[in-house]
Amino acid sequence: MGKLVFFNVPAYGHLNPSLPIVRELVDRGEQVVYFNHESFRSAIEASGAEFRPIPNLIGHDFTRRNKTFVHLVEALMRQSQAWLPTGLQEFRELGDVDLVMHDVICPWGRFVAELTRTPRVCMSSTLAMHSKLLLKGGSPANLPFLVTRGFGAFFQYRKIARDMARTYGLTKLNPFNLVTNHGECNIVFTSRAFQPEESLFDDRYHFIGPSLAEPKAEATAPPPSDLPDSPLIFLSLGTVFTDLMPFYRACMRNFAEIGMPVVMVVGRNTNVAELGTPPANFVIRPFVDQLEVLKRARLFVTHGGTNSVMESLYNGVPLLVLPPTSEHAFVGRSATAKGAARMLTMKDLEGMRLRAAADAVLNDSSYRDAAEMLRKSLHAAGGFRRGADVIQSYRDQVKPRVADLVGV
């Protein structure tokens, strides 16, 4: 078949949705070479792809919360500038490549494709972004927020952008472009029914829903028999928050008498003994198989990560969203606008506010109805198989044009 090359950022939230598509492409006979950090080698090789390491050359932790949107942009540019000379050489050593695939916030993937005149597909592990959405208040690129908190990072980003424009002739280096990186073919891991302002996105955008064929790339979770079989409340805030003890204690206080089991995920670094004796209806685990738990959940209290929200809605489960970043808030507000979620703030951890918010969702059937409508749209979107179809179809469509460009 063909040779496809994938570039991604070193973060599981961006890696995981790509792996089922990669496995499907490999099963169809495609050769896939995947560039990412060494720590993701085993997960990538398990998908059938050939792994190539990209070292983290700037010491930035892409899995943690950024101070502002522009701090993220500056880190993406620094990593691009540091790795691109080596990356271009490694890419060219692969020989003939039919297509580049890259994550939406992986500019070095776009740069390699543009500098080698290789067609590319952008995969959006977040919702599809447009300047009209980015400039709305509270979105990741809210300008007043940048001006007040991102000055130093912004000037460093501008210096790197000017250097890279001079060195490589690259264009579209403004902050918005560096976190969208959209092209002529874009895959988005949600449905058009969930996407905010979906009319802004034409037929270059393929909304395939969540990509859920593979288990999570993290360590194997306890078997489902280890968890309650009855309807339950699921609590998990991901890895972006730095101090979750107030949240865990608020949950134990608020949900001790909720009348159903509660599964609370606390991660590997939490000392469970510091929480004291949990209520009798609580099951506390460092990690679980999230999809299995969501099959039994009536409510998911989450940080609002795109993958978590999509997995919840894929199972028709309404949400309470406590977002740590503006990106998570954007996803949470999108679910709230569709009627399937309710937003929380840190103030909701005081007293019994969390219980009141949960009761409001559990006792109002409109939340469940909205989640069910979105569930149907996500199932109908096609998932990882449609993603593979889109990639192969686009590759076959542009291949004659590329042959003409190189004089074949």
**Dist. CA 48–CA 163, nearest whole Å:** 37
Residue 217 lies in a domain: no
Same domain? For 231 and 357 the reply is yes
Same domain? For 202 and 247 the reply is no
Residue 173 lies in a domain: yes
**Residue 129, pLDDT above cutoff 80:** yes
Residue 218 lies in a domain: no
pLDDT per residue as tens digits for the range 211-268: 997 554 444 555 566 788 889 999 999 866 657 899 999 999 999 999 999 999 998 8
61-75, 143-157, 281-295: the lowest-pLDDT one: 143-157
pLDDT, average across residues 128-155 = 65
Residue 189 lies in a domain: yes
Cβ(206)–Cβ(390) below 8 Å: yes
- Average pLDDT over the chain reads 89
Residue 127 lies in a domain: yes
Same domain? For 137 and 237 the reply is no
Same domain? For 152 and 286 the reply is no
Same domain? For 363 and 401 the reply is no
Same domain? For 235 and 202 the reply is no
Same domain? For 231 and 335 the reply is yes
- In this prediction, residue 220 carries a pLDDT of 53
pLDDT per residue as tens digits for the range 314-326: 999 999 999 988 7
Same domain? For 281 and 202 the reply is no
62-76, 182-196, 375-389: the lowest-pLDDT one: 62-76
Residue 219 lies in a domain: no
Same domain? For 132 and 78 the reply is yes
**Dist. CA 327–CA 125, nearest whole Å:** 12
pLDDT, average across residues 165-173 = 96
| 392 φ, ψ (degrees, to nearest 5) | -65, -40
**How much is the pTM?**
0.90
Beta-carbon count within 10 A of 150 CB: 22
Same domain? For 107 and 158 the reply is yes
Helices H / strands E in the chain, number of each: 16, 13
Cβ(297)–Cβ(358) below 8 Å: no
Residue 214 lies in a domain: no
Same domain? For 22 and 50 the reply is yes
Q: Which residue segment(s) compose the domain that 102 sits in?
A: 3-209+381-406
The count of structural domains within the chain is 2
pLDDT, average across residues 364-386 = 98
* CATH number of the domain encompassing residue 233: 3.40.50.2000
Residue 216 lies in a domain: no
Q: Please, which pLDDT band fits residue 29 given cuts at 50, 70 and 90? A: very high
- In this prediction, residue 408 carries a pLDDT of 43
Same domain? For 296 and 341 the reply is yes
